[in-house]
Structure 1
């Protein structure tokens, strides 16, 4: 049986009588790209906020590598290696691309706020920063001010910065949201590339992305897990079709179009 990195047991979050997440049981396997999908209002973002400790569960458990982290603080889980990209990764618009990744590397070394350090002392991180930039196809942009990067490239930079924090589990929140087709394809392939040797849990609306790179998919509806399995399995599930389409017609049949 594959090793489980992240597990939730009956995870529940209530807001003044409204249940946003209801008895969610997830198992994210090491080395997998695991997607959370569902219609708007299904509870995906609330679930992510519970996992990264921006919200406290009403009940239930969260386990990371078998250890209970239900009551841990956000900084504690980040130190354990659970890093949420596109929210807490450092992207400073008026620093260069290289300088942004270097800050991510400082975080992993415990020097997050040593901005007063000399340029010479920080330059020892340049080689590693460049390795990460090359990995995400940003090597030629190293000296570019981040504010001048196209939107899709900024997302690639956020991935590089997150990788600098050496995540064991990367949580990607809508990584292709707001992108044109070309950027979606580039970032999708980038996620696949950096997933080697890592575990990724992602919320994603674009079914082309989900179908193309995810090993396992959990479908949420009204805060509860409606179905789970491969893309082929969940896309053929009548309950999932109903949740998405309001009928028994094929789910998102344009996903491979």
Structure 2
């Protein structure tokens, strides 16, 4: 597809004779929200790790924004604007919310991560950092230590630090995992908001979130694509219903 920002062809990963992902073709359309779903052990996170090059595919190819990144390093991919989050919230708990974002902005500006930067240098990043915090609804918590945030707000902070890297494509791994219903609603709306001018590929277990957000859904089962399309289509697919829709956990 010519309008795809990310394409995988024949993506396969074998571990010691066990095939975790087999012959996966994927097209993530620019400007869309694309969800990967499937039962436990379906290969969702493995696909994420392959696409972001945290693990090397056994076979297949990955093209991002017209460039083959099948053998690229994760850091090189991030510099090209493809940035991911993880299932476990990754923030600096001993730093303030504001400083978490300012640290991320340092990296985007080509500076190394240093925690002894002068106040003058850090202050130059404050306006942009506060704008990002406002975008994710955390401006009032700027002086709060990361460790003191409620879980849902930690995930929002993680999204802010991801946005600080100015991504074109955001990969979100289980963004609502472990959240209360209230936090799920807030993060769902946050994802919708930040997707306004970005592309998002997400692994998500909550079907309500997927139905509200995703333009396209790819259903994995046992490492292979079982179905693909809008929610209305895949939710009625008999094979999907048997493998996934009747389970409580994706």
For Structure 1 versus Structure 2, the TM-score category normalised by the shorter chain is: over 0.9
Q: Which residue of 2 aligns with 1:123?
A: 123
How does 1:6-45 map onto structure 2 within 5 Å?
6-45=6-45
Please, what is the CA RMSD of the aligned residues? 1.6
SS at match of 1:21: strand
Q: Would you say the 8 A contact 1:89–1:162 is kept in 2?
A: no
Q: Which residue of 1 aligns with 2:94?
A: 94
Q: Would you say the 8 A contact 1:34–1:216 is kept in 2?
A: yes
Deviation at 1:88, TM superposition (A): 9.7
Q: Which residue of 1 aligns with 2:221?
A: 221
Give, in whole Å, the separation in 1 of the partners of 2:2 and 2:182. 34
Give, in whole Å, the separation in 2 of the partners of 1:149 and 1:12. 39
CA deviation string 1:98-122 (max 9, x = no partner): 0001111111111132333201111
Q: Which residue of 2 aligns with 1:212?
A: 212
Deviation at 1:77, TM superposition (A): 0.6
SS at match of 1:24: strand
Deviation at 1:89, TM superposition (A): 8.2
Q: Which residue of 1 aligns with 2:72?
A: 72
Give, in whole Å, the separation in 2 of the partners of 1:52 and 1:28. 14
Give, in whole Å, the separation in 2 of the partners of 1:166 and 1:220. 29
Unpaired runs of at least 5, structure 1:
246-250
Give, in whole Å, the separation in 2 of the partners of 1:128 and 1:178. 30
Q: Would you say the 8 A contact 1:7–1:28 is kept in 2?
A: yes
Query: TM-score, normalising length from structure 2?
Result: 0.96
Give, in whole Å, the separation in 1 of the partners of 2:63 and 2:213. 25
Give, in whole Å, the separation in 2 of the partners of 1:184 and 1:127. 28
Q: Would you say the 8 A contact 2:33–2:199 is kept in 1?
A: yes
Query: TM-score, normalising length from structure 1?
Result: 0.93
SS at match of 1:166: coil
Give, in whole Å, the separation in 2 of the partners of 1:3 and 1:87. 29
Q: Which residue of 2 aligns with 1:248?
A: none
Q: Which residue of 2 aligns with 1:84?
A: 84
Structure 1 runs, 4 residues or longer, greater than 3 Å off? 86-90
Q: Would you say the 8 A contact 1:90–1:103 is kept in 2?
A: no
The 3 A distance-change label for structure 1 pair 237 and 90 is closer
CA deviation string 1:2-58 (max 9, x = no partner): 611000000000011111000000000001000000011000010001011110000
SS at match of 1:129: helix
How does 1:160-171 map onto structure 2 within 5 Å?
160-171=160-171
* Paired residues, number: 248
The 3 A distance-change label for structure 1 pair 19 and 252 is closer
Unpaired runs of at least 5, structure 2:
none
Give, in whole Å, the separation in 2 of the partners of 1:230 and 1:50. 24
Give, in whole Å, the separation in 2 of the partners of 1:2 and 1:206. 30
Give, in whole Å, the separation in 1 of the partners of 2:66 and 2:25. 14
